[in-house]
A and B are shown apart, each in its own frame.
Chain A
Amino acid sequence: MDPIHQFHITTLFPITHSIGFTNSALFMFLAVGVAALLMMATTSSRAIVPGRWQSLAETLYEFVASTVRSSAGNAGMKFMPLVFSLFMFVLITNLFGMVPGFFAVTAQIIVTFALAALVISTVIIYGFYKHGTHFLHLFVPSGVPGWLLPLMVAIEVISFVSRPLSLSVRLFANMLAGHIALKIFASFIVALAGAGVLTAIISPLPFALTIALVALELLVAVLQAYVFATLTCVYLNDALHPGH
């Protein structure tokens, strides 16, 4: 079994020669639909004493809100819709990826890079809109001796430019590697069970490991959504308060 096969994009309905509705697009639509339905249906009753579903939605909201407040301050709350949408989208697409037969959208570098590019362009546009050229003070750390300044500015610029790359590759690589590892260990079970009586006895070992890996991947799926949201807040904080 080819472990890469699960990431293969197939066109479901061709629209033009090169554009079509793919399985990747289908699961992105599904994720957005599930996220919207989850948040709207659970908060429609607006009970003072929340039920199970409403408290789920409120917990999710409060969790992201406290993340935004702690890393970007109260001024960062105007970006709460952006951060919350990103968090819910990444969380639900990650968790969708864990369902057997579903397509892992976040294991496509182009998807994660588009999300990261959205975050970084928001930072750059808002930074220049709010602070004008003062935004460039982001690259000039204060309290650095003059002879060290050119080096520090170069390092700061490189670190800023590499942010969309590291933000997208972190999510993409985690999802890709996790799914490939799962597939490889799952294929060990079949290979060992089919190879003979002696190897069939030890075939439960990779099975146990696969179960442990599923648990780890569920943790990673939630954690990477959290990390994506937190880093978004950290980067937005630079747009809100440039200059160290």
Chain B
Amino acid sequence: MDHDAAKYIGAGLACLGMAGAGIGLGNLFGQFLSGALRNPSAADGQRPTLLLGFALTEALGIFSLLVALLLLFVVK
């Protein structure tokens, strides 16, 4: 296979990993909302935990983006 073509296909495949981060983030905020709507008074106290979970989950999606970017710009 052509070297450049393989690189671009690899970058595209690496971006599939973002689907996992998408599921995770949807789950995170969905669960938070369902919990927050049941007990709105307790929701504010859990916001730092929510943001921490958001950052940790989002980082995994960023990792796959990073692999894609490395393939596109760094791999010769």
Contacts and interface: CB of A to CB of B under 8 A. Distances in A.
A62 to B, nearest CB: 13
B51 interface: yes
Contacts of B55: 170, 174, 220, 223-224, 226-227
B11 to A, nearest CB: 13
A173 interface: yes
Interface string B42-67: 00000010011011101100110110
Contacts of B59: 170, 173-174, 227
27 contacts: A4-B73, A4-B74, A169-B63, A170-B55, A170-B56, A170-B59, A170-B62, A173-B62, A173-B63, A173-B66, A174-B55, A174-B58, A174-B59, A176-B66, A176-B69, A177-B66, A177-B69, A180-B69, A220-B55, A220-B58, A223-B54, A223-B55, A226-B48, A226-B55, A227-B56, A227-B59, A230-B52
A41 B58 CA distance: 36
B29 to A, nearest CB: 14
Interface residues of A, number: 16
A12 B66 CA distance: 29
A220 B74 CA distance: 24
- Would you call the interface of chain A mostly helix, strand, loop, or mixed? helix
Interface string A131-167: 0000000000000000000000000000000000000
Given A4-B74, A173-B62, A226-B55, 17 more contacts: A4-B73, A169-B63, A170-B59, A173-B59, A173-B65, A174-B55, A174-B62, A177-B65, A177-B66, A177-B69, A223-B51, A223-B55, A224-B55, A226-B51, A227-B52, A227-B55, A230-B52
Interface residues of B, number: 15
A202 B53 CA distance: 36
Interface of B: 48, 51-52, 54-56, 58-59, 62-63, 65-66, 69, 73-74
Interface of A: 2-4, 169-170, 173-174, 176-177, 180, 220, 223-224, 226-227, 230
Q: Which of A4, A169, A177, A230 has the most CB of B within 10 A?
A: A177
Nearest to B54: A223
A213 to B, nearest CB: 13
Contacts of B69: 176-177, 180
Nearest to A175: B62
B25 to A, nearest CB: 13
